[in-house]
Each structure stands twice: as C-alpha cells, then as structure tokens.
Structure 1
Amino acid sequence: MRTKITTLLATSLLLVLAALLAGSPASAAPGSAVSFTAQARAAGLTAAQAGALQDEVNRDLASLGGKQVAPNRIQLEGATLYLAVPGEAHPRDLTAGTGATPFYDPCAGGGADHLHMCAYSKTYYTGSELDMYSCKRYYVSTWSGPGSWDNEQSDGTVAYMYGPTGAFVYKTPPAPSWDATGNWSSVHSIVNC
C-alpha cells in the first residue's frame, strides 16, 4: 500500500513539474514571455507565429532594452515599438479579448500622428513601427534593408540618423517630412530631434 501511495505522489509531482517546465499558461507569471505567447495564441496566432513573434521581441529587447508590455509591443523610455506579426504588413492589437487594455498606435494608417516620428521596418509605412515621442536616441540596429519613416513632430523639427560606429548618416528635412522608400542598412540609431 505504501509503495502505491509513494508511486502516486511521485507521479503527481512529476506531472506538476512537467506542466511548469512546459510553461503552461495557467502557471505563467503575468508579463512573462510565456503569458505573452499565450495572449498571442488567444488572439488566433499559430504556435509557429507566436514563437517567431516572441523571438523577434527577444531580439529587439536585447538590442533596444525596454520592457515587453504585450505580445507585440515593447515600451521604451519615450518611445514604443509595435511589432508586426511575421508575414503581416502592419502591427495589430493582440491583447483584444484578453482583458488587457487595447492599444492606440500613433503610427498606424500609413503615417505618424502629429508630434510623433515613426520609423517603419519596411517600405511604404509597413512592417514593425517605432513610435518616437520624446527627444532621445533610439536604436534600429535589428532592421536592415528597405524601410520608411514619417516625421510629424512639431513644425521644423529635424531627425538625425547615425551608423553603427556613431558616424552621421542622414538628416531629415524639417517636419513634416517623410520617406516611403528609405533604407535602414547604414542606419543604426535615430535621434528624433
């Protein structure tokens, strides 16, 4: 009898441990990568899409810093990075229906809202979006190739782009200004004012 109870307890303990190691949503801490992946799955993403999205978020967190606040959103000091689901043209709200507060994206709709500068990872204002609303240096080192930007900061404000060594690359025309077919290959960071 004692052997059966010991075996039953050991089996139960192993099942609980396996569930924890597998990162089951019920055991995921709020704000953890596992809970964000669960939100992405609840929003209709496949396991492969949710995994690819989290990999991209992890890469951007390592490069930019900040804090992941939603499956496809990183909050930086003075900026927000909205990530498009791999294979999609624009970021979308993956928190709807999960009880989280839906977000408003000032870069959506093909251009920046007034007093914002938006950088887009792809041309024609598509791909992931970096919304810069405070004067600072922001890194886009994970982006490469064709992209775009829209400077709708206060009238006359210019932004500066720098290469990986910190060397000056480009100065935007005064706001309002934009480039639907720019290139991020030589740009490592942006000072938006």
Structure 2
Amino acid sequence: MNLILGKPKLLLMAMTGILALAFSAQAGPAEAASSSYTAQAQRAGLTATQAKALQQKVNEVADQTHGRQTGPNTVAFRGGNVTVAVPGEKYARDLRDTYTPAASDSCPYGNFCGFTGSAYTGTEYDFYYCGSYDTHRYLLFGGSWSNNQTKHRRVKMYGSDGSRIYTTPNAFYHTASGDWGPVYSLETCIPAA
C-alpha cells in the first residue's frame, strides 16, 4: 500500500522539480525588459557591443535616480526623465524616436535640463516637474544646463551644506560650460524676484 501511495508522491515531486527548473531558467521581469530594450537598441542600428554598454549605463542611471527604464536609453524618475547618450555619439537622443536627430540644447519648453558634457552633450537629465532634486549622485562634474522653463522662472542650485551657491537667470537661459561638482541639489520653478 505504501508503494502505491508513494508513486504519486514521487511523480508529484518529480513534476515539481521540473517546474522549478523551468521557472528558474526563465528570465525575471527586469531581465526580460532589459533584453527587449537591448533588442530595440540593435534594431535602431547599435552593434551588440554598443547595446550592451548602453544597457549597463542605463542600469546605472536607473539606480542613481531611483528610476525605471522606459526605453532602450531612457529612464523615468520622480519629476523627470533621462536620455542616456548612445556610446560613440555626442548628443543624447531617444532611440524610440527614429525621426528625431540628435541636437544640441534639446531641452523641451517648460523644463530645466542638465547635461553631463559641455555644450549640451552627453546624457540629458530633464526635470519637468517643479520641485527639489538631489543631483549629487548623477550630475557629478563639468557639464552644462538649459533653463527652458516658462518665462521668468529660475533654478536655484545648492551645495553640500544646503547653502545656495547659484541661481540661474530667468528662462530662457543656458550655460554651455558649467560645473556640477559643487552642486548637490537644485530647485526648479523659482519665480523671478
């Protein structure tokens, strides 16, 4: 009697083991999305090596901003989004939009944008909600910025001790050669005095 009852148990245990192996072999949701974005990057003309390097950078940006990946080279975070520059390209461009060429100072109207490189090059951080942002984890040194907020709006930048170190002129204003090094946070949508 134990042998008869034991066979279904053995069969159940074997099936459970097979299912566990099958599920462990499948990629998790994050890995599947990452793989899909890498495939999109390759369809946009990137080599496998470029797509892999881009994905690594996107993963870093998502961690730094506490954001989530939304495209092959885009990350959304609280109050903004990031367009990661494609390896080997000067300007950031959204790989999901095949009709938009990379261009300098591409900051959308109403927003404040920070760039990792001078002259609006490199990865673009686009802050579109009014608020305060801790930038010391991702806008580290050098760079540039564009204040394209609505008319008469400014941005205040603060140092590590919380003191204001710079206020941009009224929109529209941009700086082709800035320094993110001393900037630890910023506040957007400041009305002109």
Q: How much does 1:122 deviate?
A: 0.7
1:144 corresponding residue in structure 2:
140
User: Residue 157 of structure 1 is aligned with which of 153, 160, 172?
Assistant: 153
Q: How much does 1:92 deviate?
A: 2.4
Q: Normalised by the size of structure 1, how large is the TM-score?
A: 0.73
Matched to 1:73, the amino acid is T
Matched to 1:41, the amino acid is Q
2:109 corresponding residue in structure 1:
114
- Paired with 1:28 and 1:46, the residues of 2 have a C-alpha distance of 24
Q: How much does 1:85 deviate?
A: 1.0
Aligned pairs, how many?
A: 168
1:10 corresponding residue in structure 2:
none
Q: Alignment partner of 1:52: what SS?
A: helix
Q: Alignment partner of 2:122: what SS?
A: strand
Identity of aligned residues (%): 36
Residues 154 and 171 in structure 2, CA contact (< 8 A), matched pair in contact too? yes
Deviation per CA, 1:102-146, whole angstroms, max 9, x where unpaired?
A: 6979x9542433211111111111111111111022343223332
Residues 112 and 118 in structure 1, CA contact (< 8 A), matched pair in contact too? yes
Q: Alignment partner of 2:41: what SS?
A: helix
Q: How much does 1:42 deviate?
A: 2.1
Matched to 1:131, the amino acid is D
- Paired with 2:62 and 2:105, the residues of 1 have a C-alpha distance of 25
Residues 144 and 184 in structure 1, CA contact (< 8 A), matched pair in contact too? yes
User: Residue 128 of structure 2 is aligned with which of 130, 133, 142?
Assistant: 133
Matched to 1:39, the amino acid is Q
- Paired with 2:166 and 2:100, the residues of 1 have a C-alpha distance of 29
1:190 corresponding residue in structure 2:
186
Residues 104 and 121 in structure 2, CA contact (< 8 A), matched pair in contact too? no
Q: How much does 1:29 deviate?
A: 7.0
- Paired with 1:30 and 1:64, the residues of 2 have a C-alpha distance of 19
Larger-gyration structure (1/2): 2
Which aligned runs of 4 or more in structure 1 are off by greater than 4 angstroms?
Answer: 27-31, 102-105
Residues 74 and 94 in structure 2, CA contact (< 8 A), matched pair in contact too? no
Residues 159 and 191 in structure 1, CA contact (< 8 A), matched pair in contact too? yes
Q: RMSD between aligned alpha carbons? A: 3.0
Residues 58 and 73 in structure 2, CA contact (< 8 A), matched pair in contact too? yes
Q: Alignment partner of 1:149: what SS?
A: strand
Pair 1:123-2:118 in alignment: yes
Distance 1:189 1:53, change over 3 A: farther
Q: Normalised by the size of structure 2, how large is the TM-score?
A: 0.73
Residues 79 and 133 in structure 1, CA contact (< 8 A), matched pair in contact too? yes
Matched to 1:129, the amino acid is E
Q: How much does 1:164 deviate?
A: 4.2
Give the 5 Å matches for 1:22-171.
Answer: 32-95=33-96, 108-140=103-135, 141-171=137-167
- Paired with 1:118 and 1:104, the residues of 2 have a C-alpha distance of 18
Residues 118 and 151 in structure 1, CA contact (< 8 A), matched pair in contact too? yes
